[in-house]
Structure formats: structure tokens, C-alpha cells
Structure 1
Amino acid sequence: MVNILRRKAAVVTLAVAALSLAGGGVAIAQPAAKAPVEVAQGPVRQPRPDGQPPVTGESARKARAAAGVSTLATAPGTVSFAVVREDGTLARSSGGVTSLRFSVALYGPGQYQVSFPYNVSTKAFVATIGDAGPGYVPPGGEISVAPRTAPLTNSVFVQTRDSDGDPANRPFHLVIAN
């Protein structure tokens, strides 16, 4: 019995040693190229300290058009959503929603406003890059959301970027959790 245990112990020891050596080769692999210390961002005009474009006549008009349409969406546990194309037009929504893309010439690409029919300033926002069509794979990128600056409390500011972090127009899906 003792011999069997010694043989098994030797086999287990060899197996552990072999796996450690095989895994060690992976652990010490180094990347081929190191990332540059500083990465320059594209030239984007940031007119406000919070990074959002100022409230314009068009953005205020779109927000007012959506405001006050529905109070049912504010019930706890309900969800409102918007699917927005990269040009800022609304593909589909939960109703009473408007969207716009800010002027690329004035503020750079990838800046949107989505307005809902109720105050969303204290709600939870979830967004992801995503195409509006069925079966399409969306382009790679990043997305950020924030409540729109006052007085547009029924609107959300959305900023999209490409995979390198540069501002870029991207289609997206936005959900407001009540």
C-alpha cells in the first residue's frame, strides 16, 4: 500500500512540475510593443466645464416636445428606452422620446441628446453601442451618459467614441430605469 502511495505521489509531483513549467512560459510573455506614454485626443471643442454643449434653441425645442407626454413611465420598476442611429435620428423607442446629434462642425462628433417625456435627472442610465438594424454587428467603441444640464431635466447627454478613444458618431441603445 505504501509503494502505491509513493508512486502516486511521484506522478502527481511530476504532473504539477510539468504544468508549472508550461504555465510559467505563458506568465512571462511580454507585449510586443508598449503603449505611448501620452495619447493625444482629437481637437474637440469643449464649451463648458461639464463637457456638454450649451442648451440651444434646437435642443430646448426637442426636449420641450418630449416633456409632459407621459407620467406612466415614471412608475417604479418601469423602463424607458431609445435606439438611436449614428446620425442622431431615433430608430425606435418606448414612446414620447426625441433625439438629436449636436453639430459636428461646432462640437465635434459623437455628442447626442435624448429627451424623455418626464424628468430623468435622478434616474439610472444604461447605454451601449448598438446598431438599430436586426442582425447587424455594431462598430466598436465606447459610450458615456450623463443627465443633461439644467433646464433640460428630461434629457440625457450621450457621448460616443471609437475604440481608440477618439470622439466618433456611433449608433447606441439607451435605457432609463425608474
Structure 2
Amino acid sequence: MTTFLRRKATAAALGVLTLTLAGGGIAAAAQPAAKAPVEVAQPGARQPGAQPPVTAAQARADRAAMKATLAPPAPGTIAWAVVRSDGVLLQHSGNVTGAFRFHCCNAGEYRGQYQVTLDYDVHLKAHSATIGTNDQLNVPPGGEISVAPRTLTPNAVFVQTRSSSGAFADRPFHIVIAN
């Protein structure tokens, strides 16, 4: 009896596996062979995002901020900041040392890209951001925001904001780094 049930379970498992693979093959075959050209792509399609390069001056300033540390916040506490759409730091906790919006020679090249610097290593910390202001009479513009550790800068986070359609856009934001 046990052998019969074992054979039946094996046959059922192979049947499920076969159907799963066949279904995946059908789904893969149903995909169009050619992708639509970029100009025909759906509105709001994501633009590829890459962080701006770290300049030598930025690297020196970020290293100096880490050397002047007050001491990292205790576990379970947070560091936070409110940043205006032009990169000006409006309010912040004690460990936030600065914020700026990236600028470059080409108009709009680094639109919606910011760096928030702290005085301790945050590259392995949890971070979250939302679009918003600290002005009680102003409703912030709609949009999207993403946060990532800053490339080659362990004491900074990179923030990228977009309009609701997915295009890079300067937006005010709040950021929290959990310790």
C-alpha cells in the first residue's frame, strides 16, 4: 500500500511539474518577438536611473563629515531630514550634516536627484522617503520617490524623485534612516 501511494504521489508531482513547465513555455511563447520602439512605448515608461559620479570634492567633504561625528544614534532611533525641491535642508536631526540637489552643465541632466549626508556610516541602515514639505499651508506635488545607498559614499543616501508620469522631477521630500 505504501509503495502504491508513493508511486501515485510521484506521478502527481511529475504531472504538476510538467503542466507548470508547459504553462511557462506557453506564456513565454505568447510574448511578442520584438519590443516596441522607444517613441511608441507607453507614457510614463521608466527612464534608466544611475547615480551621478562622486567628485573628488564631494568625497573629501563626505569623509570630513564622518570624522566630525557626534556619535551614531543608538539602535532603535532614527535620523531624519526635510529637504526642499532645490536641495536645501529645511529641518533635520543632529546627525544629518547636509543635503543638495545635483547640478550639471546640461539643463535637467540631474533633475530630481539628491544626496543627503550624515556623520556616520549608513550604507547598511534602513532608509525610507516620501514626497512632502514642512509648510502647513502647502500640499506637496504628486510624484514618486526612491532611496538607495550613495555610490562610494558610506555616510550618504541617494534620493531620486519623479513626477507621477515617471519623468525625473524636482520634488520636496522627507527622509528617515533607521538605526
Same fold (TM > 0.5): yes
Offset from partner CA, 1:30-67 (integer Å, 9 cap, x none): xxxxxx7533669x7x7xxx710010134324423432
- Displacement of 1:105: 4.0
Aligned to 2:100: 100
Question: Would the aligned equivalents of 1:66 and 1:96 in 2 still touch at CA under 8 Å?
Answer: no
SS across alignment from 1:59:
helix
User: 2-side partners of 1:163 and 1:76: how far apart?
Assistant: 35
Larger radius of gyration: 1
User: 2-side partners of 1:83 and 1:142: how far apart?
Assistant: 16
Could you tell me the TM-score, scaled by structure 1's length?
Answer: 0.68
Aligned to 2:160: 159
Question: Would the aligned equivalents of 2:104 and 2:110 in 1 still touch at CA under 8 Å?
Answer: yes
Aligned to 2:178: 177
Q: 1:137 to 1:61 in 2, by over 3 A?
A: farther
User: 2-side partners of 1:114 and 1:145: how far apart?
Assistant: 10
Aligned to 1:19: none
Residues 55-66 of structure 1 aligned to structure 2 (within 5 Å): 55-66=54-65
Q: Work out whether 1:38 is the aligned partner of 2:42.
A: yes
Letter in 1 for 2:92: S
Letter in 2 for 1:139: P
Aligned to 1:128: 130
Q: Once the two structures are aligned, what percentage of the paired residues are identical?
A: 51
- Aligned CA-pair RMSD: 2.3
Structure 1 unaligned segments of length 5 or more: list them: 1-35
Structure 2 unaligned segments of length 5 or more: list them: 1-39
Q: 1:141 to 1:62 in 2, by over 3 A?
A: farther
- Structure 1 runs of 4+ off > 6 angstroms? none
The alignment of Structure 1 onto Structure 2 pairs a total of residues equal to 136
